[in-house]
Amino acid sequence: MSPVLCIALFFVIWWMVLFAVLPLGVKSQFEAGEVVPGSEGAAPQQPMLLKKAGITTVIALILFTIVYLVVTKHLMPHQIFDLVPNLKQ
């Protein structure tokens, strides 16, 4: 795998994991009973974005490592990726 492909793959995995991690542990202002005037009641009270970015990075590194090893060590047969059946039978 080229370095550019590795960076792009990590970037995609990171964003997918971020969207899965964002809603975890969120408590809205309405649920907390402390709605700030001028803001939406469904807005998070404490979004904890730095903590979630760290968690996302750790999970994305683990998933990227798994994908990288599967691809580079040929741990999955290449036939699984063939979308068109072999017509030369």
pLDDT in 10s for each residue of the chain, 89 residues: 889 999 999 999 999 999 999 999 888 888 888 888 888 888 888 889 999 999 999 999 999 999 999 888 878 776 666 665 655 54
DSSP labels, 36-78: PTTS-TTSBS---HHHHHHHHHHHHHHHHHHHHHHHHTT-S-G
State the pTM of this model: 0.77
**Looking at beta carbons, which pairs linking 73-79 to residues 24 or more positions away fall under 8 Å?**
none
